[in-house]
Amino acid sequence: MIQNSLRKLGVGLLAIALFTGCDAVRNAGNKEKGAVIGATGGAVIGGIIGNNVGDKKNSALGAIIGGVVGGAAGTYIGDRMDRQAEKIEEEIPGAEVTRVGEGINVTFDESSGVYFATNKYNINSKSATTLNKLAGIFNEYPNSLVLVEGHTDNTGSAEYNMGLSQRRASAVTDYLVGQGVSSGRFTTKWYGETQPKYDNSTSEGRAKNRRVEIAIVASEELKEEARRKTQ
């Protein structure tokens, strides 16, 4: 299931709004509550994520929070991201899918669909199967932009790991483009060993840190559609 922690985050923000006496939220239905939270919650969500991540930066989540529209338009976008996230979960059960704000964060590590052999960056058959499914979903939801990030563990030199993460992230982007997803939708970045999510002192933690992360956010076309539909 999509991670419960960030689902609970939305409930927490709603509770804060109710506690502080926000009549607009108190008297609203579920969809309207989402709109009010969307209009005011981006900075709060960003702060909570920042506190939880600590000194381990998470640029994918930062990209999602940075694209928040808010208000009724944000709720409109969120509805569509819900559908896309559910589709990813349904078709790629090994992926770690997190719905946050108005976007989606997807993480693939060695146990969840996109696997690279040691010191390699070619797309193997297992990874290709997963990426084929992901490309199909991206083509089904064309009004979204995709950030692809490469990450490594801390084995080897920092310079080598930076280059390896670049090659792996680029390989994923190139493969998805080769499956018919428009190249103009992609931004590709790489961070080597600088953004660990797990403990690099354990083999399990290192395996999880050797990952590709994807952030999915609304395109300008979807944002404009959302504003137009909710005016």
68's tokens: 């928040």
Helix (H, G, I), strand (E, B) or coil at 107: strand
Q: Is the pLDDT of residue 34 over 50?
A: no
- How far is Cα of residue 129 from the mean position of the Cα atoms in its chain? 20
DSSP state of 210: S
43-99: pLDDT as tens digits:
333 333 333 333 446 788 888 888 888 999 999 999 999 999 999 999 998 899 999
Is the CB of residue 58 less than 8 Å from the CB of residue 6? no
**Mean of per-residue pLDDT scores for the chain:** 80
Q: Which fold has domain 4-230?
A: 60s Ribosomal Protein L30; Chain: A; (3.30.1330)
Residue 58 CA to residue 146 CA, distance in Å, equals 16
Q: Are 194 and 166 in contact (CB under 8 A)?
A: no
Rounded to whole angstroms, the Cα distance separating 34 from 28 reads: 9
Give 94's DSSP letter.
Answer: T
DSSP one-letter string for 21-39:
T-HHHHT--HHHHHHHHHH
pLDDT digits (tens, 9 = 90+) for 213-230: 999 999 999 999 999 999
What pLDDT score was predicted for residue 1?
54
- 67, 60 contact by CB (below 8 A): no
What is the pLDDT, as a whole number, of residue 193?
A: 96
| Two tokens, residue 207 | 């395996």
Q: Supply the DSSP symbol for 183.
A: G
In this prediction, residue 116 carries a pLDDT of: 81
**Residues 6 or more apart in contact with residue 131 via CB below 8 angstroms:** 114, 123, 172, 175, 176, 179
What sign results for the dihedral spanned by CA atoms 20, 2, 48, 214? negative
Mean pLDDT, range 11-36, rounded to an integer: 35
State the pLDDT at residue 110: 79
Please state which of the ranges 36-45, 88-97, 171-180 shows the lowest mean pLDDT.
36-45
Q: 34 to each of 1, 39, 51, 223, how far by Cα in Å? A: 21, 9, 23, 16
pLDDT in tens, 113-123: 788 877 889 99
Contact of 151 with 210, CB cutoff 8 Å:
yes
What does the alpha-carbon distance between residue 216 and residue 214 come to, in Å, rounded to a whole number?
A: 6
Helices 30-40 and 4-19 sit at what angle, rounded to 10 degrees?
90
Total Cβ atoms within 10 A of residue 76: 24
CB 219 within 8 Å of CB 178: no
